[in-house]
Amino acid sequence: MRDNLNLIPLSRFIFHSTHIAYYRGVCLRPACDPSKFVSEAVKSIPSSGIRRFFDLVSGLEDVVSLGVGEPDFITPWHIREMCIHSLEKGQTSYTSNYGLPELREELTRTYYRRYGLDYNPASEILITTGVSEALDIAIRAVVNPGDEVIVVQPSYVAYVPSVILAGGKPIIVSTHRDDDFSLTAEALKPAITSKTKAIVLNFPNNPTGAIMQEEGMEDIADLVVENDLFVISDEVYECLTYEGTHIPFSSLEGMKDRTVMLNGFSKAYAMTGLRLGFAMGAPDIIHSMMMIHQYCMLCAPITAQVGAIEALRNGKGEMERMVREYDRRRHFIIKGFNGIGLECCNPKGAFYAFPYIGDMGLSSSDFAERLLNEKKVVTIPGDVFGEAGEGFLRCAYAASLDDIKKAIERMGDFVDNLKQ
């Protein structure tokens, strides 16, 4: 109807007021620019360079991607089959806000078995729609406007925006190649002020693959107590630890009530699209998170929750098989990168290699963009994960061995060309 109005002479309109016109009794309200309604908080979120990559990649053929942040495995069949069965049975209702009791009980058993951690399924566990949601509500549950939250970088891209959206002030602490990107208490100390409320940790780390060493963790725990801080620990890559063993921050003496552990099924059980995560912490914290969760999410999708129960009960074998496969690719890609002259720390967890390209005369994003355009290899520039990531590339080895081989070969050519 509106399209046709262009053809109608203006004189045919009867103006009722300066803003609203009527034509034959039909109200015609003026167009507006909706961008003016966008909140200042959203506008203040730093935009990520990654969006550009989506556009650059689309349309290119014969692309080899090391740019993914998810397993290249399909969710193990027994888990999918259980999801399908639950749908066939008609299990499509809401669940408790906290999540299915069986799932929470299974998590309690799992974490007791793995680490001797004892979380009460009734009050200390919340099932969320992915770790992304858990992160958002954990930060909103503890941050007051003006609170400072320490974010350790390079790290997953969501922490800083989540802090900003909650009205907090992100304070960046960097980890470095010389320390294998692990965090030290000395690095944390200068960033702590009287306004510091919490620290966001992410180990095993996306994008560096770094894990935390036990000695370093104890020092950090001391610092947390001395400064009366809270810890938000994103441990979604927990099960993907290849050297040493994963130590949940909450398992350190005195840390259980000061820490909310965020975790999920995406990486360990290749369930990214099912969107299922969980948070474990003190009842006050979990309850506060649930207060937000009940209004913004109500509950996590029931199909995914059913799949997660199956994953915890019977998924260990398949998960370990996938972990061994990643481990082999890890060895392969590190050797490959070192072989073509890209120096690379040994990543002990997650599924990312983080080679250094800072001595090639290009910024991370220029390097990644040229690599994509000239050699059709997708990598993620390290600065996407914070300034400390400048000079590095994130290369996911959650790709087939054939793709990894192809990528290394093409990157070798690219590096040779650069050096000439």
The site for other proteins (CB under 8 A) is made up of 50, 53-54, 57, 63, 65, 67-70, 72, 74, 156-158, 206, 321, 324-325, 327-329, 331-332, 335-336, 378, 380, 401
Output 82 or 131, the one with its CB closest to other proteins.
131
Output 95 or 153, the one with its CB closest to other proteins.
153
Which of 280, 317, 351 has the alpha carbon at shortest distance from 79?
A: 317
Output 65 or 251, the one with its CB closest to other proteins.
65
CA distances from 228 to 23, 71, 174, 385 (A): 66, 37, 21, 27
Query: Cα(150)–Cα(155) distance, rounded to whole angstroms?
Result: 12
Q: How far is the CB of 50 from other proteins (least distance, A)?
A: 7
What does the block give as tokens for 333?
């890609």
User: Torsion-angle region of residue 259: left (phi > 0), alpha (psi -120 to 50) or beta?
Assistant: beta
Output 220 or 411, the one with its CB closest to other proteins.
411
Let me know: does 251 contact 277? Beta carbons within 8 Å. no
Output 54 or 295, the one with its CB closest to other proteins.
54
Q: How far is the CB of 93 from other proteins (least distance, A)?
A: 28
First to last CA, the chain: 63
For 107-118, the DSSP string reads: HHHHHHHHH---
Which of 317, 306, 235 has the alpha carbon at shortest distance from 271?
A: 306
Q: How far is the CB of 278 from other proteins (least distance, A)?
A: 20
Output 121 or 381, the one with its CB closest to other proteins.
381
Let me know: does 76 contact 315? Beta carbons within 8 Å. yes
Q: How far is the CB of 356 from other proteins (least distance, A)?
A: 20
Q: Which residues pair with 199 in a beta bridge?
A: 150, 231
Task: Determine how many CB atoms are found less than 10 A away from the CB of residue 200.
Answer: 27
Q: How far is the CB of 67 from other proteins (least distance, A)?
A: 4
The residues, any chain, with a CB within 8 Å of residue 34's CB and separated by 6 or more, are none
Output 127 or 396, the one with its CB closest to other proteins.
396
Query: Cα(391)–Cα(54) distance, rounded to whole angstroms?
Result: 21
Let me know: does 247 contact 111? Beta carbons within 8 Å. no
Q: How far is the CB of 35 from other proteins (least distance, A)?
A: 25
Q: How far is the CB of 175 from other proteins (least distance, A)?
A: 18
